[in-house]
Amino acid sequence: SVLPQGYLKRLELAKAIALQPDLLILDELFSGLSLAEVASIVPIIEKLRMEGKTIIMIEHRLKELFRIADRIMVLNFGEKIADGKASEVMESEEVKKAYLGTEAG
Strand 79-84 to 72-76 pairing: antiparallel
Output the average pLDDT for the chain. Answer: 89
Mean pLDDT, the chain cut into blocks of 10 residues (105 residues total) = 83 93 94 90 92 93 86 93 92 87 60
The whole-angstrom separation of Cα 90 and Cα 25 is 22
Name the H helices within 1-105.
5-18, 35-50, 62-68, 86-90, 93-95
Contact present, 16 and 24 (Cβ < 8 Å): yes
Q: Which domains does the chain have, with CATH numbers?
A: 1-59 (3.40.50.300), 71-105 (no CATH)
The separation between the first and the last C-alpha atoms of the chain, rounded to the nearest angstrom, is: 52
The pLDDT assigned to 48 comes to 94
pLDDT in tens, 28-40: 999 989 999 999 8
